């Protein structure tokens, strides 16, 4: 993380980097020149490129590495080259800043992206240039990503509550037509052919609350979270746990797609719930009644 320390009569130091730096120049970017996205060659992530401009012809281009979602994900992105970039990095080779007359190389940076439900974004970057100058770029506005049609989940296969000391976990298994739940005292198996989500929502009681749930790792849950998917271990056994997505063909499930990013939004209109899962490559929705046991 890059932290700026200000001093009235000396150059500024930047925590984590050697040397002294001039007082940063703040640039407000107000216009969107272009938006694009492309999936990586191996299909493991998606590159989102944003080009922004300012009133004095300043230009900032950044390429962000995200999971396979349809929009630029909110997080703090850190510096990496094209050959080493993973989810959570920006690609330095394809990220640049111009003051309107010349373009300088970025030698280090942190870029923080926040996102509201209506696709209004804030993008704030601290850019250390190759000449040791520092530029802080700021943008606030709507990025017009096109929401795809969600996959429709048509049935509740499981809805059960488990109380803990400070919260209650509501596990929902929501699936498409063609699937059936087979349960015993220890587990539930989903058979047939179709897709389903197994999600763990953290609530204050056994009543499923309307809100937008955000991911957290197992063991750090609080009300308003969903437990991110993970590989659990018990002695020599491993198992899939937390929130995850499966495709099933003739009773054989795919490998678990762990849901670790994005949101799960729950709304209630009368007795009808709408649950929208927007996590990485999974964009799915259920609308109907839910009875939690």
Binned at pLDDT 50, 70 and 90, residue 20 comes out as low
What HEC string does the chain produce?
Answer: CCCECCCCCCCEEECCCCCEECCCEEEEEEEEEEEEEEECCCCCCEEEEEEEEECCCCEEEEEEEECCCCCCCCEEEEEECCCCCCCCEEEHHHCEEECCCCEECEEEEEEEEEECCCCEEEEEEEEEECCCCEEEEEEEEECCCCCCCCEEECEEEEEEEEECCCCEEEEEEEECCCEEEEECCCCEEEEECEEEEEEEEEECCCCCCCEEEEEECCCCCCCCEEEECEEEEECCEEEEECEEEEEEECCEECCCEECCCCEEEEEEECCEEEEEEEECCEEEEEEECCCCC
Distance between CA atoms of 15 and 277, rounded to whole angstroms? 38
At residue 184, the pLDDT reads 84
What is the number of other CB atoms lying within 10 angstroms of the CB of residue 242? 23
Confidence band of 103 (pLDDT split at 50, 70, 90): confident
Could you tell me which residue, 223 or 4, shows the higher pLDDT? 223
pLDDT at residue 185, as a whole number: 77
pLDDT digit string, tens, across residues 259-285: 999 999 999 999 999 999 999 999 999
Q: What is the pLDDT of residues 123-182, one digit of tens each?
A: 999 999 988 889 999 999 999 999 999 999 999 999 999 999 999 999 999 999 999 999
Domain extent listing, the chain = 12-142, 151-288
Residue 239 phi/psi, 5° resolution? -155, 155
Residue 9 has pLDDT above 80, yes or no: no
CA separation for the pair 285, 165 (Å, rounded): 30
pTM comes to: 0.83
Q: How many CA atoms lie within 13 A of 24 on its CB side?
A: 21
Residue 25 has pLDDT above 50, yes or no: yes
pLDDT at 10: 41
- Using CA atoms, how far apart are residues 257 and 242, in angstroms rounded to an integer? 11
What value does the mean pLDDT of the chain take?
92
The string over 19-54, giving b where at least 16 C-beta atoms fall within 10 Å of a residue's C-beta and e elsewhere, is: eebeebeebebeebeeeebeeeeeeebbbbbbbbbb
Q: What is the pLDDT of residue 260?
A: 95
Confidence of residue 186 (pLDDT cuts 50, 70, 90): confident
Angle at 211 between CA 207 and CA 216, to 5 degrees: 95
pLDDT (tens digit, 9 = 90+) per residue, 205-239?
999 999 999 999 999 999 999 999 999 999 999 99
Residues 80 and 86: beta-carbon distance below 8 Å: yes
Contact 273, 286 (CB under 8 A): yes
- Which residues is 123 bridged to in the sheet? 113, 139
């Amino acid at each position: 993380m890059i932290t700026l320390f200000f001093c009235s009569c000396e150059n500024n130091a930047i925590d984590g980097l050697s040397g002294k730096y001039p007082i940063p120049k703040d640039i407000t970017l107000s216009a969107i020149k272009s938006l694009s996205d492309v999936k990586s060659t191996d299909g493991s992530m998606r590159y989102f490129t944003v080009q922004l401009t300012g009133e004095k012809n300043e230009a900032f281009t950044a390429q962000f590495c995200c999971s396979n979602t349809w929009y630029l994900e909110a997080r703090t992105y850190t510096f990496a080259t094209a050959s080493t970039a993973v989810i959570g990095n920006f690609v330095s080779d394809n990220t640049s800043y111009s003051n309107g007359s010349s373009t300088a190389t970025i030698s280090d940076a942190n870029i923080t992206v926040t996102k509201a439900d209506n696709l209004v974004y804030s993008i704030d970057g601290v850019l250390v240039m190759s000449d040791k100058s520092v530029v802080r770029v700021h943008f606030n506005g709507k990025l017009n990503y096109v929401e795809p049609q969600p996959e429709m989940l048509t049935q509740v296969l499981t809805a059960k509550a488990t109380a803990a000391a400070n919260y209650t976990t509501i596990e929902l298994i929501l699936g498409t037509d063609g699937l059936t739940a087979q349960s015993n005292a220890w587990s539930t198996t989903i058979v047939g052919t179709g897709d389903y989500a197994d999600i763990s929502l953290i609530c204050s009681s056994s009543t499923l609350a309307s809100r937008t749930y955000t991911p957290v790792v197992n063991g750090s849950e609080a009300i308003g979270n969903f437990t991110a998917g993970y590989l659990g271990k018990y002695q020599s056994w491993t198992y899939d746990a937390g929130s995850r997505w499966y495709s099933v063909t003739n009773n054989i499930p795919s490998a678990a797609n762990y849901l670790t990013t994005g949101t799960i939004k729950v709304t209630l209109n009368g007795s009808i719930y709408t649950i929208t899962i927007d996590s990485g490559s999974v964009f799915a929705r259920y609308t109907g009644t839910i009875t939690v046991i």
